[in-house]
Amino acid sequence: MENLTLTGLLNKAALEFPTRRALSVSGKLDLTHSQLQHLVDHAASLLLASGIHPGDVVALSFPNTIEFVVMFLAVIRCRAIAAPLNQAYTAEEFEFYLSDSESKLLITPKEGLQPAQSAASKLKLPQVTAALSDGASSISIGNSVSTDSNSESVKELVNDPSDVALFLHTSGTTSRPKGVPLTQLNLASSVRNIKSVYRLSESDSTVLVLPLFHVHGLIAGLLSSLVSGAAATLPSAGRFSASTFWSDMRAYNATWYTAVPTIHQIILDRHLSKPEPSYPKLRFIRSCSAPLAPIVLARLEESFGAPVLEAYAMTEASHLMASNPLPEDGGHKAGSVGRPVGQEMSVLDENGVPQKEGVTGEVCIRGPNVTKGYKNNPEANKVAFQFGWFHTGDLGFLDSDGYLHLVGRIKELINRGGEKISPIEVDAVLLLHPDVAQAVAFGVPDDKYGEEINCAIIPREESNIDEAEVLQFCKKNLAAFKVPKKVFITDALPKTATGKIQRRLVAEHFLAQISTAKVPKFGA
């Protein structure tokens, strides 16, 4: 049972590595695995005393803080369900997520969070704050104080593999966000897969740069480290900062980090403009959540002297589905997102028939890390869960070595006069231009071809690149039918909270500006 639940794996790590550092806040606080476990049990006792029962959903909205980590782990220790929420949501968004998850309690930092609290009040949802004591020996939830009887009741609780532990929503980049329930077994399977493929151990350390309300930062960065007996460091500001990233990495002897392509690009840009006096020796750098352009991968490896391992993941699979392995296990293959990790993977046609090596189809998976279905969404389940597989909505093919190559999202492929064009391929070419910092291609309606290709770019600082130069570069490096018809030059692109570019929103924004001479800035 211990290896089939996330809480069991965490307990095991705390027993094996009680005095090793588990979690730090940069420059402020260090906790060992034993100390963290004590805080979690203490917080769980408070939740039980407050009336939280198995199966209750508890919403959490915090920056990346010790309080969030402790309360998240305490909620699932109580056999309740944690629903982490982005602090940047509006009151209306909080109302949707709190209602859709059927939350029974909202927990926020001691300073409060007005939009979330307003939404909770409107829904008549109980709300409390959580704060760590000055000595970090205990945590308070409102005015609650732990008792010995409550502590004993925590010890009597046994987490079951079938317990739903985490409730997240899909990013909603192409449709309404869907609720994804993930069980203790789902989470345990995923962290074991991540630990295995990257050979994480008690000797490893990382700095968390991604928000912990998202599956990438939460599972790949935090939970996989804790289960491995390794250490994770939270930035002192509670969020990623390019100016302090490398000093934190050096100070806490980091051996790896994981990020989305946008953050990798920010780290690279800072390296070019303000290089550090020295860089830590890393075992690997990991990229996930969006395609990493080959040129960016090459620049990362050259700049920081570590292999870059691209991975493929989704919320519905408790994050990891495929990854390029470490060099000693085969290494990165150009253009791929790696081999399947810990589950079955197949490429199916529209009739559910597996495709041969090299033949493109929809990427489908099944395994113990995969959710059994979306909550209260039978129509979505009919599409996503059929033929015994979870259908990812991504197109790709498997090569002779078992590596997966992604072509693009089915809904994002551009159909230009019958020619199917992957916007990922166009992105990669645009990023080869030395004056292009970020780029995204997208389809727009066209009377003649049905769809035509447009793109938006963010130039590098002090660059004077214009549309004509971009188009000329594309004509040299792309087949004629793949060359964008129009180029928008801007200073920002709409992204999710984790840095994923939303093609649909990019297309909508720039289509609205075609009739004007000026493209307004995002957020202006």
Nearest-angstrom CA–CA distance, 482 and 498: 29
pLDDT value at position 175? 57
CATH superfamily of 2-395: ANL, N-terminal domain (3.40.50.12780)
CA dihedral in degrees (403, 407, 412, 415; nearest 10)?
Answer: -160
Per-residue tokens: 195: 């630990």
- The CATH label, of 3.20.20.370, 3.30.300.30, 3.40.50.261, 3.40.50.970, for the domain at 413-511 is 3.30.300.30
For residue 163, is pLDDT > 80? yes
Quick: pLDDT tens for 457-513: 999 988 999 999 999 999 999 989 999 999 999 998 887 777 777 788 888 888 887
Exposed e or buried b per residue across 439-453, where buried means at least 16 C-beta atoms within 10 angstroms of its C-beta: bbbbbbeeeebebbb
* Residue 446 pLDDT: 87
Strands 404-409 and 389-398: antiparallel
Backbone φ and ψ for 50, nearest 5 degrees, come out as -80, -5
Provide the token pair at 467: 């549309």
Q: Flag whether pLDDT at 2 surpasses 90.
A: no
Residues 30-47 pLDDT 10s: 999 999 999 999 999 999
Q: Is the pLDDT of residue 515 over 90?
A: no
Which of 54, 52, 167 is CA-nearest to residue 101?
Answer: 167
Confidence bin at 150 (pLDDT 50/70/90): low
pLDDT at 27 over 50: yes
Residue 170: predicted pLDDT: 87
> What letters, b where the CB count within 10 A reaches 16 and e where it falls short, cover 161-182?
bebbbbbbbbbebeeebbbbbb
**Spatial distance between the Cα atoms of 361 and 410, rounded to a whole number of angstroms:** 10
Q: What's the pLDDT tens digit per position in 86-141?
A: 999 999 999 999 999 999 999 999 998 999 999 999 999 999 999 998 878 889 99
Q: Can you read off the two tokens belonging to residue 62?
A: 């915090």
Q: Among residues of the chain, what percentage have pLDDT more than 70? A: 94
Whether the pLDDT of residue 145 is over 90: the answer is no
- For every residue of 237-258, which 3-state class applies, written as one string? CCCCCHHHHHHHHHHCCCCEEE
Whole-prediction pTM value?
0.88
The per-residue pLDDT for range 325-337, each reduced to its tens digit, is 999 999 999 899 9
User: Which pLDDT value is given to residue 172?
Assistant: 56
Q: Using alpha carbons, list the distances in angstroms from residue 385 to 168, 361, 366, 373, 394.
A: 18, 16, 10, 7, 14
Residue 1 is predicted with a pLDDT of 56
- pLDDT score, position 85: 97
Q: Please give the share of the chain, as a percent, with pLDDT higher than 90.
A: 80
Q: How many C-beta neighbours within 10 Å does residue 516 have?
A: 8
Model pLDDT for residues 408-443, shown as the tens digit of each residue: 888 888 989 888 899 999 999 999 999 999 999 999
Question: 104-131 burial by CB neighbour count: b if 16+ within 10 A, else e?
Answer: bbbbbbeeebebbbebbeeeebebbbbb
Domain ranges within the chain, ordered by starting residue: 2-395, 413-511
Tokens of 447: 């009377």
